[in-house]
Structure 1
Amino acid sequence: MTIKKLAIILNIFLVVNFAQATCYEQMEDNTPTIRYIFSDDGWVTDKKTNLMWMRCSLGQTWENNTCTGQEIYTFENSLIISNEATFAGFDDWRLPNIKELISIVANNCNRPAINLDAFPGTTDSIINSFWSATKTNDNSSAWSLDFAEGTPRVITVSAYYQVRLVRDLSN
């Protein structure tokens, strides 16, 4: 077998493995599917936090109950786009703060650490980390969340990450 064929087979294997989260039954599922109310319009409501989330990240397409595609944004672009977003008849979507993003981390799963029934199309790539609206004190960095492991990180605002918008139904 040539190195090229082996690389192709290995690449296919890795893509297939990254398409599903690894979840551990020994650990409590803090984001079970029953926690969410699902819509055919591509949003989900978290009954625990009373937050409505876009199931796809911005730039992805919602079709046949899944998300496809990918777009990444700088922090400043994510703020602009979130303020202009209209989706499923709502125009009050916004960038979540870091605590809100952490609320959808599945502590019993990784690669990605998120409920894939609620948020299909979320991969574990570091490029697929998500911006939060929470900036650092010096305004040169902001908090993001890497869903590969469910880890919050401080990143320079010029980096490019994905954006998932939220609405607060408590207001």
Structure 2
Amino acid sequence: MKYSLLTLALLSTGASACLENNGRFEKTSVNTDQGEVIVVNDKKTNLQWLHCPLGQTTEQCIGDAQEHTFKTYFHKDTATAAIAEFNGNFAEEQHWRLPHTMELGTITDYNCEFGTNLALFSMSVSSTEYRQMEGNLKAVRDSYAPLLQAIDDAKAAWQHDLEHNPEVIAIMAEIERLEALREKKPTRELALKIRAQWSKLYDKEELVVDGKVVMEDGKPVMVLKYPNYSAQGKAQWAFDKVYRKGDESQRLLSYEQEYQAVKVPMAQWFATTGGLGIKLQNSMNYSVHSGKEGWGLEQIHYFNGISMYLRLVREIPTAE
């Protein structure tokens, strides 16, 4: 049976408060060969959950939460063995397993700041650590403001040419005419003519200052006739270079590298059965580009090699 995002939302939200308890949940501990494990009993669903993501211990969730990928065409399943190893610490027949998507939905509530009640179901990092990572990424993104402004300025300048420069208007009109002809009957000749028109936007002319041609080494200095067209690409290239590699001379960090280092704890994906995961954190979409910025609201995702955390579950043992 398939469940839609809407179905999950109806199941996991509905109240204005954050995953209200009202006696529904009980945090307790169970003994294992490796010591106590903090669990949360859900009396409504009769399910017992790990308080911490697999790999962390104690009520404070000390240690590193395990990150796992699942078997796909390109990735090896690393979760099955980890779950079996954890189960080896228990004597009960009712062993721990991955939750079904709808089961994990019962403790997921996007009315909560972090997607669930952290007092009951901890993330892999504390809320303080999460906000610090979020703040660090925002600071890197904000440091790109001059680069993004340069892109916007270049686009605005080219748009002005498109609307007010007669020569540019004529070139673009001819391109549009040729494209319409090629759409009806594609030919190599038309393709070459269109290419020739685009090439005109890179034409050069002599640099004239105060009515005089500027000379260098006995030759006139040549400059682009329509500089605003190529300026867009240059501004975008400058941004892309910093985004990927950073720039020490400008003291700018690489956003791509900074994000890759924290993307798993930032997303807080938790695996379920059926090749799906649920994104616990309703986090900011930190893509950096000119003119757009938004909230990433996609909460269900196929594994596809994404590293996910494990919040294991089982039926509440009758002996407890």
Q: What TM-score do the two structures reach when normalised by structure 1?
A: 0.66
Q: Name the residue aligned to 2:55.
A: 59
Question: In 1, distance between residues paired with 2:60 and 2:120?
Answer: 10
Instruction: List aligned pairs for 1:104-123, cutoff 5 A.
Output: 104-110=107-113, 112-123=114-125
Superposed CA offset, 1:96-128 (max 9, x none): 111111111124212x11111111344564442
Q: Name the residue aligned to 1:148.
A: 281
Instruction: List aligned pairs for 1:56-135, cutoff 5 A.
Output: 56-60=52-56, 62-63=57-58, 65-68=59-62, 69-75=64-70, 76-86=77-87, 87=89, 90=92, 92-110=95-113, 112-123=114-125, 125-134=265-274
Larger radius of gyration: 2
Distance 1:159 1:42, change over 3 A: same
Q: 2:301 is aligned with what amino acid?
A: V
Aligned residues: 136
Give the match's secondary structure for 2:83. helix
Over the residues paired in the alignment, what is the CA RMSD in angstroms?
2.7
Instruction: State the 1:82 CA deviation.
Output: 2.0
Gaps of 5+ in 1: 1-25, 135-141
Question: In 2, distance between residues paired with 1:170 and 1:70?
Answer: 25
Q: Please state which structure has a larger fraction of its residues in helix.
A: 2
Instruction: State the 1:50 CA deviation.
Output: 0.7
Contact 1:31 1:106 in 2 (8 A): no
Distance 1:88 1:114, change over 3 A: farther
Match of 2:25 among 16, 31, 36: 36
Instruction: State the 1:154 CA deviation.
Output: 2.0
Gaps of 5+ in 2: 1-14, 30-36, 71-76, 131-264, 283-296
